[in-house]
Each structure stands twice: as structure tokens, then as C-alpha cells.
């Protein structure tokens, strides 16, 4: 077991900076996800942690020791790759046991340990098959098995589920989470899927253009995003963020967007001036509970919940209602916002403005 620490990791390819001063600490046994769109530097960071790539500057530490000069194997990390990277000419058993064979372990030990891992991952009945004869989910589990049998100090996952269909992805998430709960091995997970990050991680590091925007628990990044970027990236549907202005008149503060003025009760109102954006998530938009009258634009019934989008001027706002709600387009409803769910962002820097006026 080991903790992982990144100190001022920078990676440059010529003029392009793939990673810029990345600092991160992953505690022993923690599950941390690197989350971001493609090109944000998350895979580069993971490869640097693995030892498959060298940082331009900065240090990687494991268990308190600098490991920059160690190979991936020497760092005691195991990795699950996006395209599985199974050895096509070897059977499932040989794929999983390859690392033991390299260590020249005796054959029955290899067979025994491969059997144990295979049973754990429900692969015992396909041990003699070749990778191309397996389904996508089975192949991914072989890749998992190959990593598990190492009993490493750190697990690394590079977008392992991107090539699976949606249902399989959800199933594999559960398996990985169970695996982590059972084995308790420090894990770093890379993905662009925010739902995956939220469901799996102890903490999430959102990356953008080589920087870490925020590191926090799923709760933190969901409810207390540090920047507008994080606020938009996390959560589905995307948070609605408006470019309007605060108006204070007669002791009432309102946020004005176009022709709509949303009243904000005292405690929730930001105290500073300056240009602010306002964001609100769908679950904090109330319909027909007082407020501004607006017409319904689009209704999306999803069975367990319904998304109702209302609009004014050029703006749209989505509300989430539980169950099957019945509205028709054009119907007039009143819209109000739960003040507990309002978030304000400094327009220029994108950082969230805290109630006391400070920037997050």
C-alpha cells in the first residue's frame, strides 16, 4: 500500500504544455479520479504516475519516496488500459499470469493464482480462450484480472470503460467499486465521464488545459464548485449559468437576466459588487410555487423524473421534477429558484464568489 504524491509536475511537448504544475496527494487506499475533457492532461498525468512517461519537471512520490527513476513495475503499479491492451496471441490465463511468468514463479503457483483471480472476476470458464473470442466486457475483466493478480501498491485506470456500451459501463463501475472496497488498494482513475467520477471516487481532481481546477469529494465538487468550469462540468443535466446582473432596489436584491428578475433573499445574496454570473441546478428550480410566469418550451419525460425547460428571451432554464410530470409546450408556469442552490461566479475569473464576498 502506498500513498501517491505529485509535486509540481509539468510536462511540455515543445511549445505545448500538457501538464502545468500539477500537485496532488492521494492517501493510502483512496480512490481518486482525474476528470476532464480530452486534451486536459489527465492521461499524460496518469502515464507520468505510472512511469510510462517522464515529466519535464516535478516529482512523483510513492510511499514517501521519489520514484521518478523507477520503471512502472518497480513502482509496484498496475494499470488497466482504455483499449484493454490484452496480448492477442495469449489465452486469458496466460494474459493474467504473464506477470508471474516474467517473475519465473513455479507453474502451479501461477495456475492457482490465476484461477483465484479468474473466479473473482467470473472468468473461470473462458480461461483458455483468446482475447478476440471474448466480449468487450469480458476483455475488460481480463485486463482487470491482469492488474489484480499483481497485488500492487497502486491501481491506475486509463478510461477503461470508454469502449463499452452504456449498460455495461454501469455494471463495470459497480464491479470496480466493489473491488476497491474489497482490496482497499490506492487507485487513480482517469475519465471524461463526470457521472463515472462521481459514482466511483473518494475524491475527484478536475483538470483543464493541464491544470487542476479543483480537488474535492463528490459532494464538494457538486455542491461547492470552485469555478464556473467545474460547476458546468459536474452534474447532469449541466448547470444553467446566466450572464446577468445584480440589482439592489428598495432592500430587495434580484438577479436580472434579460426581462426576468429573480429575487434573492438576503442570506443568499452576494455582498460584493462587480460582474457576476449566476448558476443554478435543475433540482433547485421550482415550478408553480410562486415566482415569475414563463412559458414551457420543452418537456423531457425520463420515467423516474421529468426535465421541463422553460424559456424567456433567448434564455433557457431547466427544472427537474420527480416522477412523470405533465406539462405541454407553451403552457404557462411560474418559476422560482431555491436560494440554497444559487451559485455566483466572478465573470472574469470564473471563480465562485462565497457568501462573505471572497473568491473560492
Q: Which residues of the shown chain bind another protein in the complex (CB under 8 A)? A: 50-54, 68-79, 81-83, 85-89, 98-99, 102-103, 146, 150-153
Return d(Cα 276, Cα 274) in angstroms, integer: 6
Identify which of residues 79 and 134 has a Cβ nearer to another protein in the complex.
79
Nearer to another protein, 147 or 296 (CB): 147
Considering the complex, what minimum distance in angstroms separates the CB of residue 39 from another protein? 17
Strand order in the sheet with 276-280: 240-243, 276-280, 343-346, 352-353
Question: Least Å distance between CB 8 and another protein?
Answer: 18
Give 68 or 135: the residue with its C-beta nearer to another protein: 68
Query: Strand, helix or coil at 309?
Result: strand
Comparison of 87 and 174: residue with beta carbon closer to another protein: 87
| Phi and psi angles of residue 200, each rounded to the nearest 5 degrees, phi first | -100, -30
Min dist. Cβ of residue 261 to another protein (A): 50
Minimum gap (Å) between residue 326 Cβ and another protein: 47
Q: Which three cell numbers stand for residue 249?
A: 432596489
How many alpha carbons lie under 13 Å from residue 305 in its C-beta half-sphere?
A: 11
The dihedral built from the CA positions of residue 245, 247, 253 and 254, taken in this order, carries a sign that is: negative
- How far apart are CB 53 and another protein at their closest, in Å? 7
- Beta carbon nearer to another protein, 71 or 300: 71
Give the span between the Cα atoms of 183 and 78, in whole angstroms.
Answer: 14
Closer to another protein by CB, 117 or 337: give it.
Answer: 117
The count of other CB atoms within 10 Å of the CB of residue 330 is 8
Q: How far is the CB of 69 from another protein (least distance, A)?
A: 5
Burial class (CB in 10 A: 0-12, 13-18, 19+), 187: buried
Among 148, 52, 43, 53, smallest CA distance to 95 is for: 148
Nearer to another protein, 88 or 290 (CB): 88
With 0-12 / 13-18 / 19 or more C-beta atoms within 10 angstroms meaning exposed / middle / buried, residue 72 is: middle
**Would you call the peptide bond into 241 cis, given omega within 30 degrees of 0 as the criterion?**
no
Tell me the closest approach of the beta carbon of residue 233 to another protein, in angstroms.
26
Q: Which is nearer to another protein, 153 or 172 (CB)?
A: 153
DSSP 234: S
CA distances in angstroms from 284 to 80, 180, 278, 292, 341, listed in the order given: 38, 33, 13, 15, 6
* Of 78 and 204, CB closest to another protein: 78
Q: How far is the CB of 147 from another protein (least distance, A)?
A: 8
Least CB distance from residue 194 to another protein, whole Å? 24
Rounded Cα distance, 113 and 111, in Å? 6
Amino acid at each position: 500500500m502506498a500513498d501517491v504524491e505529485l509535486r509540481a509536475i509539468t510536462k511540455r511537448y515543445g511549445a505545448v504544455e500538457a501538464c502545468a504544475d500539477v500537485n496532488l496527494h492521494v492517501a493510502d487506499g483512496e480512490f481518486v479520479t482525474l476528470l476532464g475533457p480530452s486534451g486536459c492532461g489527465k492521461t499524460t498525468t496518469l502515464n507520468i504516475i505510472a512511469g510510462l512517461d517522464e515529466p519535464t519537471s516535478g516529482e512523483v512520490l510513492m510511499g514517501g519516496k521519489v520514484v521518478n527513476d523507477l520503471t512502472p513495475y518497480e513502482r509496484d503499479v498496475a494499470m488497466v488500459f482504455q483499449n484493454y491492451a490484452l496480448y492477442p496471441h495469449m489465452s486469458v490465463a496466460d494474459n493474467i499470469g504473464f506477470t508471474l511468468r516474467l517473475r519465473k514463479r513455479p507453474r502451479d503457483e501461477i495456475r492457482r493464482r490465476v484461477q483465484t483471480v479468474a473466479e473473482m472476476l467470473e472468468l473461470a470458464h473462458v480461461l483458455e480462450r483468446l482475447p478476440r473470442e471474448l466480449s468487450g466486457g469480458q476483455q475488460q475483466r481480463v485486463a482487470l484480472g491482469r492488474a489484480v493478480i499483481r497485488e500492487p501498491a497502486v491501481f491506475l485506470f486509463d478510461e477503461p470503460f470508454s469502449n463499452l456500451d452504456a449498460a455495461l459501463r454501469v455494471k463495470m463501475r459497480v464491479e470496480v467499486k466493489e473491488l476497491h472496497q474489497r482490496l482497499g488498494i490506492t487507485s487513480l482513475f482517469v475519465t471524461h465521464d463526470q457521472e463515472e467520477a462521481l459514482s466511483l471516487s473518494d475524491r475527484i481532481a478536475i483538470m483543464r488545459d493541464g491544470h487542476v481546477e479543483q480537488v474535492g469529494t463528490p459532494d464538494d465538487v457538486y455542491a461547492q464548485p470552485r469555478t464556473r468550469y467545474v460547476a458546468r462540468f459536474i452534474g447532469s443535466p449541466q448547470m444553467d449559468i446566466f450572464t446577468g446582473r445584480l440589482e439592489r432596489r428598495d432592500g430587495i436584491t434580484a438577479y436580472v437576466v434579460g426581462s426576468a428578475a429573480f429575487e434573492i433573499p438576503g442570506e443568499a445574496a452576494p455582498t460584493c459588487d462587480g460582474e457576476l454570473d449566476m448558476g443554478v441546478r435543475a433540482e433547485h428550480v421550482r415550478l408553480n410555487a410562486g415566482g415569475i410566469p414563463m412559458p414551457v418550451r420543452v418537456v423531457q419525460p425520463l420515467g423516474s423524473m421529468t426535465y421541463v425547460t422553460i424559456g424567456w428571451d433567448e434564455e433557457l432554464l431547466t427544472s427537474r421534477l420527480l416522477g412523470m410530470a405533465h406539462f405541454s409546450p407553451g403552457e404557462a408556469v411560474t418559476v422560482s429558484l431555491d436560494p440554497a442552490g444559487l451559485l455566483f461566479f466572478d465573470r472574469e475569473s470564473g471563480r465562485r464568489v462565497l457568501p462573505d464576498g471572497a473568491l473560492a
